[in-house]
Chain A
Amino acid sequence: MKMSTRNESGATVVSVKGKVDTVTAPEFGKYLNEQISKNQNSLIVNMAELYYMTSAGLREILGAGKELKDKGHEILLAGLQDNIRDVFQISGFASLFKIFDTEKSALEQV
């Protein structure tokens, strides 16, 4: 798993690549929380190069989403590959979060 962050106007963009599984999910969650405390705006998670996510990863996304909601912001998800999109559909997370085909279309919404 690799993560990086960019600041765009109106949003913080976190790109996550590789696998968010049982072992890497806590680090992913910690990283999201750091970005949320540092930047007082909405968060876009670019998942274009993420190919695997377990329920542990979804729990971190949910935690970040709850935290942002409390602060009056939101989490937007972009570029989900098919199998990640399936996981979001099955868990009902697809209706909890705004999901965009690309990071660009997510940025246009913030």
Chain B
Amino acid sequence: MTVCLLLQIKLPATLENLAAFIEPVKSCAEKQGFSQKKILQIELATEEILVNIVNYAYQDHPGYVQIRCSVDDDKRFGIEFEDTGIPFDVLSLDTPDVTAGISERQFGGLGVFFVRKLMDDVRYYRKGDKNILKISMSGSAET
């Protein structure tokens, strides 16, 4: 399996940098021929993950996020997010109760839930002092 790196960006983990990550990821997905619907899903998943890293990864010092977009032989589009913040597996979060009524419904947990639902595959692992989250969307042929 050959994986071709399409894009790599490393910037401080701040809300101000959100667009500087998201816009290139979108153009990258567009070049892969994804439908508008899938591009919006990729954009949404990317934003939700970045916001989590910005808000929670670095508690007492500033840090960075690095993203890498790639495509493999099967036209699977992958985005890898790397940070050196506190070890945190977002996939360990409880699934929000999406059946709760309006008064009982809690505010949190939806972002990560979206990522799991919208992307075809989501994996987390630790590599040294790094959190790595890799999401992927299957090939543009089946838009």
Please state if B110 and A22 are interface contacts (CB–CB under 8 Å): no
Please state if A62 and B48 are interface contacts (CB–CB under 8 Å): no
Residues of B within 8 A of A91 (CB): 96, 98, 110, 113-114
Chain A residues within 8 Å of chain B by Cβ, number: 24
Please state if B105 and A52 are interface contacts (CB–CB under 8 Å): no
Residues of A within 8 A of B37 (CB): 82-83
Q: Which of A22, A65, A87 contacts B15 (CB 8 A)?
A: A22
How many B residues are at the interface, by size bracket? 20 to 34
A56 an interface residue at 8 Å Cβ cutoff? yes
Main secondary structure of the interface of A (DSSP, over half): helix
Least Cβ–Cβ distance between A73 and chain B, in angstroms: 12
Question: Chain B 44-70 against A: per-residue CB contact (8 Å), 1 yes, 0 no?
Answer: 100110010000000000000000000
- Which residues from chain A sit less than 8 Å from chain B, CB to CB? 21-23, 51-52, 54-56, 58-59, 62-63, 65-66, 69, 82-83, 87, 90-92, 95-97
